[in-house]
Amino acid sequence: MHGRRSRFLTVMITLGLAFFYIPMILLVIYSFNYSKLVPVWGGWSTRWYEVLFASEEVWSAVSLSLKIALVNATFATIFGLLAALSMVRFGQFRGRTLFGGMLMAPLVMPEVITGLSLLVLFITLRQVFGWPENRGFATITIAHITFSMAYVAVTVQARLTGMGQSLEEAASDLGAKPFKVLTAITIPRLMPALVSGWLLAFTLSLDDLVIASFVTGPGATTLPILIFSRIRLGLRPDINALATIIILVVAVCIAIAALIMFRQQKRDLLDQQLAKQVK
């Protein structure tokens, strides 16, 4: 749908974007504040960045969070892909309704419930099997995979439904085994959805505070847990510096991703035009 944008809508967009961005811009500006009191301006300085980089605690939290996010995103993408294939391509099977329900429920589940239920699971498993002895990396990663695979599955399902099945059918008619069909045809065609699913899972994991707080144990502090424990007591200039770095990294990554997708779209369009000419 297109047409002219009325003045009212233009004003709303402007207000909306101002509402979104002014707090973040202020956050960035105050990270360069010399003063220890965040809202009181004391001149430009980069001292809070130095404080931040010198902090061992911050570095270890960053590295733990990145490790969890990487493992989580990879497994969530694999499981999400398998789940989406099961839902879209395999027709009816026993337990399909239950499976679909469990797959989508994490999308609407309040975080506190997910966190609580996984913690009691880990404690029960430990009582019964002696594992996991300590909560930390493994338990947080398992918890994250469980809710992020839902997001991957939704992304992949949408693409899979729109894709049609004829190429896969042609390949298996020509004698390709199911695994070969998956790796040679389905996965390459799903690549954009898989990449955005992976990125989504990665970000969700990096961002999660509540579930990680429930299922973590002593000694395993992720970045959100560290930030939360610091800002609960009030404003902290070093957290402003950290926020600025995170915003910068995210903006650069998204810009690159957008550029790649844009190019891919252009290439697809060209391919389609070429195909038409050949016909």
Partner 1 sequence: MNENTKSVNRTSAEQRSLLPSRVGQKIQKHWRLIVITIPFVWLLLFFLLPFFIVAKISVAELKIASPPFSNMFEWTDSGIVTVRIVFDNFIYIMTDNLYFDTYLNSVKIAAVSTFVCLLFGYPIAYGIVRSGPLAKPIFLFLVILPFWTSFLLRVYAWMGLLSDQGTINSILIALGIIDEPIQMLYTEFAVYIGIVYTYMPFMILPLYANLEKLDGSLNEAAADLGSRPTNTFFKVTLPLTMPGVIAGSLLVFIPATGEYVIPDLLGGGNVQMIGRVLYNEFSRNTDWPVASAVALTMLFLLVLPIIVFQYYQGKSTGGK
Q: Whats the size of the chain, residue-wise?
A: 279
Peptide bond into 178 cis (omega under 30): no
248-267 residues in contact with partner 1 (CB under 8 A) are 250-251, 253-254, 258, 262
For partner 1, the closer of residues 98 and 278 by Cβ is 98
Choices 2-10, 49-57, 130-138, 187-195 (CB under 8 A): range interacting with partner 1: 2-10
Q: Rounded to the nearest 10 degrees, how much is the dihedral formed by the CA atoms of 31, 44, 47, 240?
A: 0
Q: Which residue has the tokens 């050949």?
A: 278
Shortest separation between residue 278's beta carbon and partner 1, angstroms: 28
Pick the binder of partner 1 from 43, 56, 92, 110 (CB under 8 A). 110
Are the beta carbons of 32 and 50 closer than 8 angstroms?
no
20-39 residues in contact with partner 1 (CB under 8 A) are 20-21, 23-24, 26-27, 30, 37-39
123-152 residues in contact with partner 1 (CB under 8 A) are 123-124, 127, 142-143, 145-146, 149
Pick left, alpha or beta for residue 175 (phi over 0 → left; psi -120 to 50 → alpha; otherwise beta).
left
Choices 66-74, 77-85, 160-168, 187-195 (CB under 8 A): range interacting with partner 1: 77-85
Number of residues that bind partner 1 (CB under 8 A): 91
For partner 1, the closer of residues 40 and 274 by Cβ is 40
Shortest separation between residue 152's beta carbon and partner 1, angstroms: 10
154-183 residues in contact with partner 1 (CB under 8 A) are 177-179
* φ, ψ at 120 (rounded to 5°): -65, -30
For partner 1, the closer of residues 269 and 278 by Cβ is 269
Task: Spell out, one character per residue from 205 to 244, where the chain touches partner 1: x when CB under 8 A holds, - when not.
Answer: -xx-xx--xx---------x--xx--xx-xx---xx-xx-
For partner 1, the closer of residues 45 and 196 by Cβ is 196
Within 8 A by CB and 6+ apart from 96, the residues are 87
Q: Binding to partner 1 by residue 73, rule CB under 8 A?
A: no
For partner 1, the closer of residues 164 and 178 by Cβ is 178
For partner 1, the closer of residues 194 and 242 by Cβ is 242
Q: Which alpha helices (DSSP H) does the chain contain, by range?
A: 7-30, 47-54, 56-89, 96-108, 111-129, 137-163, 166-173, 178-181, 187-207, 210-215, 223-231, 237-278
Encoding tokens for residue 91? Answer: 């027709």
Pick the binder of partner 1 from 55, 60, 74, 117 (CB under 8 A). 117
Pick the binder of partner 1 from 121, 138, 163, 184 (CB under 8 A). 121
Distance CA 247, CA 235 (A): 18
For partner 1, the closer of residues 9 and 270 by Cβ is 9
Rounded alpha-carbon distances, angstroms, from residue 82 to 77, 79, 96, 181: 9, 5, 14, 14
Q: Which residue has the tokens 């402007």?
A: 14
Encoding tokens for residue 199? Answer: 């990125």
